[in-house]
Structure 1
Amino acid sequence: MSRPAFTTVAHPTQQVYASWDDAALVQALRHDDTLAFAQIYERHWWPLFQLAARKLGSREVAEEIVQDLFTVLWHKRAEHQIQHLQHYLHAAVRHRVIDCIKARAPRETYVAYHGARLMQPDHCTEEEVAADELSGALQASLTQLPRHTREVFRLSRFEHQSVPEIAVRLNLSRKTVEYHLTRALRQLRVSLKDFLVLMLALLGVAG
């Protein structure tokens, strides 16, 4: 894969900035240092572009994602609390990739839990992002279950109670408890199917 035609700032003193570590560049960036920003861009855009292009299969979309990331980095330079620049940038790209893949999927698959996703820490991996996404999707799917079915499932899977214990607690017959569990599992399997296919596809190209 050849490099895309990104534009960077050329300046003789950038040779000095090239010797700085990321922490020093981030500190200078917070003080509006354009040459520090140019060095961050030059140092990190190519690995970020490769990461996005590999997962999305599109150089054009990957370029847009990386350009948008650096645009935000500059405009919010005084707000960011960046402890490790490389981890921060790679995590930000992964989030944008996931959002991009979601946008390609049927909207109804994600609308119920889109707002529930939490930001990952800077050192997150694709697996951690997928786990958090799955947790959000599961919680959203559970809200679609009837109240009694949802409560039976919660007691069984989250509180690890047995069918007899649930029956006593909710004053239901064992067969009714088993019916609700079967109903919950069937509905969750259907509602999460598209989500799991998407996340497995994403993780499958992560390497």
Structure 2
Amino acid sequence: MKNDKYASHNNISLLARLREGDLEAFNILYNRYWSVLLDESYKRLEDLASCEEIVQDVFIDLWEHCSKREILNVEAYLFTCMKYKVFETYKKSKRRNVLIAENKQLYQSQEVVDGNTYGEKDLKSLIEQWVSNLPQKRQEIFKMRYLDGLTTKEISELTKTSQNTVQNHLGASIQKLKKLVLQHFLTLLMIFYTCK
């Protein structure tokens, strides 16, 4: 390699230099192992962009932690890091695919209106089901407020419950409902971009 004074050095020597912050030694290791790590990670994931990111992360990890960790074999260290990062990427991808698979069938039958993939009817059905599963008192208060349009004071008088308790019931319900709607929306987004 042109102008690389450590190119003929073995990995032990390069590792010692790297611990001292020698960028040239790092570049030699990078050039020595970049393509083989990329090939090995690609065999496992078959996603070039993800594999390039993984290998980049492996070398960033080596540069940042070399002086703090007891690395005896730099090649083994690089391959172990790569395998770990591939496994983590695979796990994330698998979780995402499971979520999509569980919900895809439900949304495939959803009509697309005016180019909008957000299933309004399905969301309404989801909320109705969610409300029906609320505890009796909370369900009653929720319906009075958001279906009948009563104020918290009116609900308090009708249910013989303090206004503060009514507000607490409503606050807890709305917080959970927001999470439900957000999950629904995110699932639809993932399905939309996966099916494109």
TM-score (norm 2): 0.47
From the two aligned structures, give the one with the greater helix fraction: 2
Larger radius of gyration: 2
TM-score (norm 1): 0.44
